[in-house]
């Protein structure tokens, strides 16, 4: 599980959907009081960004005409503590090296902005 916090337009279908699902998992874990120190301390989660990130991912999913199951449309209430951080530059680099589809999308996007 992780939050990427990369511009959703630069993410492939797999990573976009996975991050959305993982946000719901993070909220579930926060609500039951699970320890998330590894995620907080290793730049993989930022709890005060979850709600806004969920909104951004759903907007991109809607633009791509993805069908979002009703149970995943809204996040349940949860308490965040302003813990954690996500290194977005590291996330971009990781996606470029890990995923050919994300790399292609990012290359096309940056070529079109030159």
- Residue 37 has φ and ψ, to the nearest 5°, of -55, -40
Please indicate, yes or no, whether the overall pTM of this predicted structure exceeds 0.85.
yes
- Answer yes or no: are the C-beta atoms of 106 and 92 closer than 8 Å: yes
Q: What sign does the CA torsion over 105, 106, 111, 112 have?
A: positive
Going residue by residue through the chain, which has 114 residues, state the pLDDT in tens, using 9 for 90 and above: 999 999 999 999 999 999 999 999 999 999 999 999 999 999 999 999 999 999 999 999 999 999 888 888 889 889 888 999 999 999 999 999 999 999 999 999 988 876
Contact predicate 93/103, CB 8 Å: no
CB atoms within 10 A of CB 65: 6
* For the chain, domain boundaries: 8-112
């Amino acid at each position: 599980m992780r939050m990427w916090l990369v511009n959703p337009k630069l993410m492939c279908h797999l990573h976009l959907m996975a991050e959305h699902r993982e946000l719901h998992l993070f909220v579930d874990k926060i609500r039951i009081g699970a320890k998330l120190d590894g995620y907080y301390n290793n730049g993989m989660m930022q709890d005060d960004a979850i709600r806004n990130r969920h909104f951004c991912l759903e907007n991109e999913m809607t633009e791509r005409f993805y069908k979002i199951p009703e149970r995943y449309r809204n996040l349940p209430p949860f308490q965040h503590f302003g813990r954690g951080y996500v290194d977005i530059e590291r996330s971009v680099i990781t996606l470029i090296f890990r995923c050919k589809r994300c790399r292609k999308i990012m290359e096309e996007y940056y070529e079109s902005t030159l």
